[in-house]
Amino acid sequence: MTSPADRTPARPGRRHLLRAGTLGAGALGVGAAGVGLGRSLGAPSAPADSAEEASTHWAPYGGPTVPFHGVHQAGIETPAPASATLLALDLREDVDRDGVLRMLRLLTDDAARLTRGEPALADTEPELSSEPASLTITAGFGPGLMSRAERPAPDWLAPLPAFGIDELEEQWSGGDLLLQVAADDPLTVSHAARMLLKDARAFTTPRWGQTGFRRSPGVVRPGSTLRNLFGQLDGTANPAPGSEHFAKVVWIEDGPFAGGTSMVVRRIRMDLDGWDEADRGARDAATGTRQDDGAPLSGGDESTPPDFEKVSANGFPVIGEFSHMRRARGVDDGEHQEIYRRPYNYEHAPAPGSGLLSEAGQVFVSFQADPLTQFLPIQRRLDELDLLNQWTTPIGSAVFAIPPGCAEGEFLGQSVLE
Amino acid sequence: MSQHSLSQHSFLPSLARPTRRAALAAALLLPLAACSSDPSDGSGTGGTASDGSGTSAEGLTLVDPWVKAAEEGMTSAFGTLTNDTGRDLQLLAASTPSAGMVELHETTGDGSGGMSMQEKEGGFPVPDGGELVLEPGGDHLMLMDLAAPLRPGDEVELTLQCEDGTELVVTATVKDFAGAQEHYEPEGSAGSGASDGGGEHDGHDADAHDADGHGDHGADEHGEDGAE
């Protein structure tokens, strides 16, 4: 790890820091990266004799790194950071299997370096690589990539069937290669995404890009459930990362993709202007939960199991049969599936003349071992009946196979493409 | 197995083999490649080459070697050469099977705002404990008469030779790179042009208009690709 000023290849002393990096790896990153920042800020009260302390004091979220190498790819079970860019790329027509492998080696090298807070090879803005801010880079394969790499795709790797609620737009759907770039800082995400795009350019053309945000670091307790733009706690029913339950829901057990998973990306437009018309009671009825604390309408708090049997004085279920939570959980269908949701909010300026105040929604991201037996039944039920559909519209959809993680010296997807 | 086999001639088989030793160092220094010139040296050292000529290259390292992708003609190679051999060295020459000729080039201001590149007579000094930075817009290795297209993700074997016979063999990664243009002149520049030796470089610019689309799209073809 080197400090920002020392990352420019031309500066003397860089190699010594590089060597320090080989020994200390991530541990040095926090301190070293902060030296330059502290100085540039003037950091009057920063103790001069403790770069590490100064760094964590002034920039506690810039230095942390998330290991890139491992059994699973980062960016799935790891905490969802504040800012994300999802990129879908299409392979150029003349790219063959060899080209796919060359591309993945380049992208893997970029990802390994950038997530350590180091510049990518031939990085023209190494200054933008020095604050990893918990950067993760996750790659997924569409059916097109598997076919080009001359390897069989999992049988579930295909576009989802059409749903009645869908108003899909080509510009938000499909893709041969998915890159999820996420960090606690949007500038870090931007640079990493551009670096990856530059190295993918000879092999791919951009298909779509979606940016999203969650809470900034330090704003809410780590592990808090996401609030979406409707104000709802979104993801309460998720299996807990790090648990056996999570592993069972998310990771593929057998076959070439063992240790990997499937990723469903849905762009869901949220009608905030229409939502404004719904008063609190109508809103809570639509989800079956309280907007303020996420508790089920049957009582308790966010973590309390909902009581779907509970009826009102009039004999109607307290958690309505049309409510999002009841439908998603399959309560009245005698079935239950689980997925792990890791969504991001999006909000952009509205199209000129649209009359809207904003173009907003959710980049819905879910991971599950098998989308056909886990995601699909849930989505089918919600397609049939879910009061929340009144304010939400899926406008994009894509499915990717997420290969397992790689070890140092390997490239992403190596085990599934060999 | 020698890391020598990780050259561009055995690219696919190399995919199956994780770097064996000093994995962390290798990942930091040469994640896409390994560099050892000596087939008998089974303990490749990640970034530091074994000697290839009888004079020990222990301690001489080319950190992060890379080559700009090119369809034909010429291109440049970069990296940071660090010298911990215990003696002063003079980098005199370089060679690669991928190019007919390699020259050591320096870049200097031409006094009128432009940059000029020319062959560095006598090579570059690399003092003990010091380093030589080869980078776009600065000193670099000029690869001429490319034997074949150098496509992004390819690997190129480079041999660096020092005056005292020290030889370093490394594997460099080919990168799609927009800069490092031999003839690049900012608009309005009054410079005499960043000439790198005259007419023989014309083929370099010609690449930009060569849209025959074979192989992967080289760095110079992006103008056309962007319009798709």
Place B189 in a pLDDT band, splitting at 50, 70 and 90. low
Q: Reply yes or no on whether the pLDDT at A273 is more than 70.
A: yes
Q: In the structure encoding, which two tokens stand for residue A390, read together?
A: 């009144």
Cβ neighbours of residue B186 under 8 Å, at least 6 residues apart? none
- The active-site residue out of A6, A166, A234, A284 is A234
**B3-178 maps to CATH 1.10.3720.10:** no
Tokens 């049969």, residue located: A321
In the residue annotation, A276 being an active-site residue is answered as no
Q: How far is A185 from chain B (nearest CA, A)?
A: 24
CA neighbor of A61 nearest in space, from A191, A186, A194, A227: A186
Contact of A173 with A121, CB cutoff 8 Å? no
Across chain B, what does the average pLDDT equal?
69
Look up residue A315 and give its amino acid.
G
For chain B, what are the domain ranges? 3-178
Mean pLDDT, to the nearest integer, of B104-125? 83
Helical segments of A150-297, H only: 186-200, 244-250, 272-275, 280-287
pLDDT reading at A414 higher than 90:
yes
Q: Is A106–B24 a contact, with Cβ atoms under 8 angstroms apart?
A: no
Cβ-based contacts of B176 with chain A (< 8 Å): 198-199, 201-202
Q: How many CB pairs under 8 A join A and B?
A: 118
pLDDT score, position B186: 55
Instruction: Say how far apart CA A181 and CA B113 lie, in whole Å.
Output: 39
Identity at A187, one-letter amino acid code: L
CA-based radius of gyration for chain A: 23
Confidence of residue B108 (pLDDT cuts 50, 70, 90): confident
Nearest to A250 by CA among A329, A338, A178: A338
> Residue A113: its chain B contacts at CB < 8 A?
31
The whole model's pTM is what? 0.79
The residue among A214, A163, A159, A170 whose CA lies nearest residue A386 is A163
Please compute the mean of the pLDDT values over residues A198-205 and round it to a whole number: 98
- Asked if B131 and A205 come within 8 Å (Cβ–Cβ), the reply is no
Is B28 in contact with A124 (Cβ distance < 8 A)?
no
| Amino acid at position A349, single letter | A
Taking residues A328-353, report their average pLDDT. Answer: 94
Chain B interface mutation, best of A6, A22, A194, highest count of B Cβ atoms under 10 Å:
A22
CA distance B163 to chain A (A): 23
Measure the CA–CA gap between A269 and A308, rounded to whole angstroms: 29
Higher per-residue confidence, A109 vs B219? A109
Interface test with chain B among A28, A68, A107, A408, by most B beta carbons within 10 Å: A408
Read off the DSSP letter of residue A372: I
Task: Provide the β-strand partners of residue A361.
Answer: A269, A346
- Rounded to whole angstroms, the Cα distance separating B84 from B89 reads 10
Torsional sign, CA B19, B24, B28, B29: negative
Nearest of B170, B153, B5 to residue B82 by alpha carbon: B170
Q: What is the mean pLDDT of residues A288-306?
A: 96
User: Residues with Cβ < 8 Å from B221, sequence gap 6 or more?
Assistant: B71, B207, B208, B210, B211, B213
Rounded to an integer, what is the distance from CA A233 to the centroid of its chain?
Answer: 17
How much is the mean pLDDT over chain A? 89
Q: b vs e for B119-142, b when ≥16 Cβ sit within 10 Å of the residue's Cβ?
A: ebeebbebeeeebbbbbbebbbbb
- List B residues 2-31 in contact with A (Cβ-Cβ < 8 A): 11-12, 15-19, 23-29, 31
Confidence of residue B180 (pLDDT cuts 50, 70, 90): confident
Does the beta carbon of B216 lie under 8 angstroms from any beta carbon of chain A?
yes
pLDDT at A368: 98
Which band of pLDDT confidence, cut at 50, 70 and 90, is reported for residue B54?
Answer: very low
Span between the terminal Cα atoms of chain A, in Å = 32
Tell me the chain A residues in contact with residue B78 when contact means C-beta distances shorter than 8 Å.
Answer: 9, 122
The tens digit of pLDDT for each residue in B143-173 reads 999 999 999 999 999 999 999 999 999 999 9
Quote the CA–CA distance of A316 and A337 in Å, as a whole number.
25
Residue A242, phi-psi category: left (phi > 0), alpha (psi -120 to 50), beta (remainder): left
Q: At what angle do helices A51-58 and A26-41 cross, to 10 degrees?
A: 70
Distant-in-sequence, close-in-space partners of A49: CB < 8 Å, separation ≥ 6: none
CB A99 within 8 A of CB A363: no
A121 and B213 within 8 Å at the Cβ level: the answer is no
ipTM over 0.90: no
Tokens 């080209």 sit at which residue? Answer: A99
Task: Please give the torsion angle defined by the CA atoms of residues A79, A84, A86 and A87, in that order, rounded to the nearest 10 degrees.
Answer: -130
Q: What is the pLDDT of residues B8-49, one digit of tens each?
A: 333 333 333 443 443 444 344 433 333 333 333 333 333 444
Instruction: Find residues 151-190 of chain B whose CB sits inside 8 Å of chain A.
Output: 151-154, 173, 175-179
Given this model, what pLDDT does residue B57 score?
77
Calculated CA dihedral for residues A55, A57, A62, A65, nearest 10 degrees: 80
For residue B75, the distance in angstroms to the closest alpha carbon of chain A comes to 14
How high is the pLDDT of residue B222? 42
Average pLDDT over residues A223-248: 96
Question: With 60 as the cut, is the pLDDT of residue A85 above it?
Answer: yes
